[in-house]
Structure 1
């Protein structure tokens, strides 16, 4: 939370980074912050108030996960336009279009999941295999036919996160072509280095998600500790790594933090 708040503060108080890339970075930090706040503090409420709050938490987790996937896709397209259409970039990706991108949300696709779960009786144990509420966990606790929930959940993931992942990969094809067309090796390295932070964030998001999905589908015989650990990695690791990655890789944020620290030291002296 401190790392994400620092990035938002730097972009807010510094006038220079008010560019589409930093707007997307602010949206990603906000999404990570929402994902963090929808899990850790509400765990106690789940234990205290039970199932209705558990459904609310499940909805928030999946909504912010879908939003983060969308932000990563938008940032990939931002890099693609910045490298492949450098001269037209300011006119194509205006602040208004960036704001419209940030308003897009997949949350309506998740409403049927809540409706399907509320229609199912829960007569078995209510002990979750994670320290927070996930759709797969709640389906495993239902004592009725959960086939509609399973089919719709897989369809939503494939249509949203699966499609986003494919488009992110496709966006790097023209980037690689444009980078390889540069004459000097230093120019190629400089152009591609702007995408390294984004690639690291995509991997930090997709790898734990893929591992969690595989455990839920094929790892039912594994120890509960494995499921708990993988679930916590999926929720906590990307949220921790994102501000660190962008804080290290983004020069403007790094310079602002250093200059702020120097000014604070001078004021203290």
Structure 2
């Protein structure tokens, strides 16, 4: 069997894992839709490559307002790999206690909000503390992890707690321990990870279910769409309307930040 076919077969196994979670996907979608229907946000957070899932949810074609993508560049801008803004610094910072609280200090978060925290291992400090801090604010937290990788990994927190210890719901990407899925002959280290594949499947199944709930409840989502499908004029209209709606909801996250004595 070719390595291409092997990866595709393992990808089909990941699809099966995601499919088996359909009841949980629908439950999570209802949770997120409830926040959006109340005019609030679903907060999204992931460090490192988990930011891919944040940006997959919003903003991009086929997505809509209602999500707050918290992407901290110091934790995820590692395109240069080494030197300034390199991977070493990002991997160090994602295990600095207290960083999550400083990030959330920028937002007025309420119990009506919900959150999706993405971490393949569920063992790095900042994503764990992000979930912990949100739960302190009575926010319902969904963790998106690779269960096998999480179970086989050791938490970087001193108390040993993992992301799922601060989650109300857990979604599993179906990726294996170590993430990479393909062993090449003569190479003792596997290549080609699977968590992104499972994560994107989960993000977009949840997204579709949320859109259906919003539509059913009279709040048609303003979907960023291609002019090739709906015409350039309609696409431009939706583009402006979606970003305007996002701005208006985001404004609520800033208007009561901090002590109200200024």
Greater share of helix = 1
Point out the structure with the larger strand share: 2
Task: Provide TM-score, normalisation by structure 2.
Answer: 0.30
TM-score, structure 1 as length reference: 0.30
Rg larger for: 1
